Amino acid sequence: MQSTLVVFGVVFAISAAARAQLVQTSVEPAGDRNWSTTAGRTVGLGNSAVTAEVGWPGIGFTYLHGVDERTDWGLHVAFNYGLDSTDKSLNGINLAIPYRHTIGSLSDTSFAFQAQPGVYLYSNDGALFAVGGPIGLVVGFKLDERLTLDIGADIPVLVTFSNPAGFVFGPQFGGGAEYLLDRNLAVTVRFRIGPNIALETGGSNTTTGFSALIGLAYNLR
């Protein structure tokens, strides 16, 4: 546990230093092969994209709109059979507002900040209501005009108000990939894994939390 937190601290420090150096770096405008919904780039100024993903913890749909070349805002809805970023099976729904911002890029490597704050409602011997969501950094490596690989670090945070009330968090690490089938359609894969710490009214515990999703993204342009 301690070593994991140390590793996360190092990754965060390196990313912060990179941001300080890259924040003034120009971002190449999104073209036919230069947009992303999960890696280090955005969908592009004026573009909109929709994604559908399935896996753990459920089935999710996301709409993203590029307000400029660096920034996306959107809307996310998920129908889950697992509590987000944990290994606990629960049925529920998540409504969130995704935010993605490209910090900068070096050649074919892009650095981005992302967050997905929202509300959660689950059935857990009564209603489990929570607010929160993942906050993290992702680095995308564009290997060619179609394929982008990425690595990322997230801190999922949930504050639960009932059944039980408490605080759930933990650093998670992983990677993913995007492959463009054509100029508007991409296949996406992403996963995260790490310790999950729950501080609840009945006590505390630590388990292994994870998420694993595969999906399709379509750029509406």
The mean pLDDT value for 170-191 works out to: 96
The predicted structure's pLDDT at residue 77? 98
**Average pLDDT value over all residues in the chain:** 87
Closest CA to 71 of 47, 99, 51, 49: 99
Q: Decide: helix, strand or coil at residue 206.
A: strand
The one-letter amino acid at 119: V
Q: Which CATH number fits domain 2-219: 2.60.40, 2.40.70, 2.40.160, 1.20.1070?
A: 2.40.160
168: Cα separation from own chain's centroid: 17
Angle 17-21-155 from CA coordinates, rounded to 5°: 40
**H or E stretch including 215?**
strand 203-219
Q: Report d(CA 89, CA 183) in Å as an integer.
A: 37
Q: Report d(CA 28, CA 110) in Å as an integer.
A: 10
Tens digits of per-residue pLDDT, 118-144?
A: 999 999 888 999 999 999 999 999 999
* Beta bridge pairs of residue 60: 53, 78
Domain ranges of the chain: 2-219
The pTM assigned to this predicted structure is 0.83
Angle 140-113-16 from CA coordinates, rounded to 5°: 95
Tens digits of per-residue pLDDT, 87-115?
A: 889 999 999 999 999 999 898 999 999 99
**H or E stretch including 16?**
helix 2-22
The mean pLDDT value for 46-59 works out to: 96
How sure is the predictor about 32, in pLDDT bands with cuts at 50, 70 and 90? Answer: low
Residue 22 scores a pLDDT above 60: no
The one-letter amino acid at 130: A
The mean pLDDT value for 46-67 works out to: 97
